[in-house]
Amino acid sequence: MHLPQSLRLNRGSYLGETIDITRVLAQIDHTASRHGWTRRPILEHPPTTISAFRRGHGNTQKRIYLSAGIHGDEPAGPLAVLELLAQNTWPSEIEFWLIPCLNPSGFAANTRANSAGRDLNRDYRQPTSPEVQAHIELLESLPDFDLTICLHEDWEAKGFYLYELDATDSSSAAEAIIEAVTTVCPIDPSTKIDGRRASDGIIRPEIDPATRAEWPEAFYLFQHKSRLSYTLEAPSDFALSVRVQALVAAVRALLDSAVRD
Ligand SMILES: [Zn+2]
């Protein structure tokens, strides 16, 4: 099998393709409404408009949350959401909550942080940004989730990898995700990623939020909304289409395992 190669473009930050987030979000809006999702605005301070989308109804067995675009230099996340919406193969028995882009102003500037310079994915312990404050307000109004998924990219990664936070008794889906992505792009072989121990692209971080001053979204979700959380990281030194397919394959593998459980 012939796997795609790294473009060797990134130096110190993401230097690859960018997207027109306004256009992508309009496409997401259109595709979601065509397939019966309902939209709920979370924050409307133009040009920063954040929306959540919901599919299914309250009396379903399971509830899954998926978010993307919290870092404005990680375009594969919102594009993967668009692709998943277009494929429209969601398990019908599951209720979904979807937030395609948490940091529109960061995308407009192609920066990790929002336009005020705040890394939103470090703002979930004592939120100061309007984006995260509005996001948490929404989350507090929703019931808990059986599974939460956050889509990300890493400009330094040598391949795809994931974080798993799991306090359930069920068997882990991590290996199945890695196996699904293996057919799309390389898996990061590093034994240490971002200072954490990794094995075959899987990081299972020590869970002690008290020791962390700044919380990422996944920490908030794991502490307050769900006992099972995955952060999926596409390697952003590969072609954008490859990273989108990697995230799509990973999400689909996760949904397969959620249906089986
Ligand atoms: Zn990220």
58 Cα: distance to centroid of ligand 1 (angstroms): 30
In the chain the first and final C-alpha atoms are separated, in Å, by 31
Q: Phi, psi at residue 177, to the nearest 5°?
A: -65, -50
C-beta separation of 103 from 46 below 8 A: no
Specify the higher pLDDT residue, 64 or 60. 64
pLDDT of residue 61: 79
1 Cα: distance to centroid of ligand 1 (angstroms): 29
Spatial distance between the Cα atoms of 219 and 223, rounded to a whole number of angstroms: 6
Spatial distance between the Cα atoms of 18 and 240, rounded to a whole number of angstroms: 9
Given pLDDT bands bounded at 50, 70 and 90, which one contains residue 48?
confident
Spatial distance between the Cα atoms of 231 and 240, rounded to a whole number of angstroms: 18
124 Cα: distance to centroid of ligand 1 (angstroms): 14
HEC string of 164-214 equals EEECCCCCCCHHHHHHHHHCCCCECCCCEECCEEEECCEECCCCCHHHCCC
Helix axes 240-260, 174-182, angle to 10 degrees: 140
Is 109 among the domain residues? Answer: yes
pLDDT of residue 46: 74
69 Cα: distance to centroid of ligand 1 (angstroms): 8
Strand order in the sheet with 62-67: 38-45, 48-55, 94-99, 62-67, 147-154, 228-235, 161-166, 202-203, 196-199, 192-193
Is 2 among the domain residues? Answer: no
CA distances from 253 to 49, 141, 187 (A): 30, 28, 15
213 Cα: distance to centroid of ligand 1 (angstroms): 18
93 Cα: distance to centroid of ligand 1 (angstroms): 30
Is 138 among the domain residues? Answer: yes
pLDDT in tens, 110-125: 999 999 999 999 999 9
Is 5 among the domain residues? Answer: no
Is 145 among the domain residues? Answer: yes
24 Cα: distance to centroid of ligand 1 (angstroms): 18
Q: How many residues does the chain have?
A: 261
Does the pTM of the predicted model rise above 0.75?
yes
Share of the chain residues as helix, strand and coil, in percent rounded to the nearest 5: 35, 25, 45
Q: What SS3 class is residue 223?
A: helix
Work out the average pLDDT over 42-53. Answer: 90
Q: What SS3 class is residue 236?
A: coil
152 Cα: distance to centroid of ligand 1 (angstroms): 4
253 Cα: distance to centroid of ligand 1 (angstroms): 20
Is 4 among the domain residues? Answer: no
Work out the average pLDDT over 128-147. Answer: 97
Question: What is the total count of domains within the chain?
Answer: 1
Q: What SS3 class is residue 20?
A: coil
Residue 1 has pLDDT above 90, yes or no: no
176 Cα: distance to centroid of ligand 1 (angstroms): 22
pLDDT of residue 3: 86
Residue 174 has pLDDT above 80, yes or no: yes
74 Cα: distance to centroid of ligand 1 (angstroms): 6
228 Cα: distance to centroid of ligand 1 (angstroms): 19
60 Cα: distance to centroid of ligand 1 (angstroms): 31
pLDDT of residue 218: 96
Spatial distance between the Cα atoms of 221 and 256, rounded to a whole number of angstroms: 21
97 Cα: distance to centroid of ligand 1 (angstroms): 19
pLDDT in tens, 67-80: 999 999 999 999 99
149 Cα: distance to centroid of ligand 1 (angstroms): 13
226 Cα: distance to centroid of ligand 1 (angstroms): 20
Residue 97 has pLDDT above 80, yes or no: yes
DSSP code for 92: T
pLDDT of residue 156: 94
Question: For position 199, which CATH number holds?
Answer: 3.40.630.10
Spatial distance between the Cα atoms of 18 and 244, rounded to a whole number of angstroms: 13
Spatial distance between the Cα atoms of 130 and 120, rounded to a whole number of angstroms: 10
> What sign does the dihedral 131-132-134-138 (CA atoms) show?
positive
Domain span at residue 41? 21-260
pLDDT in tens, 189-241: 999 998 899 999 999 997 777 788 899 999 999 999 999 999 999 999 999 99
| Mean pLDDT score across all residues of the chain | 94
pLDDT of residue 57: 73
Q: Phi, psi at residue 186, to the nearest 5°?
A: -60, 155
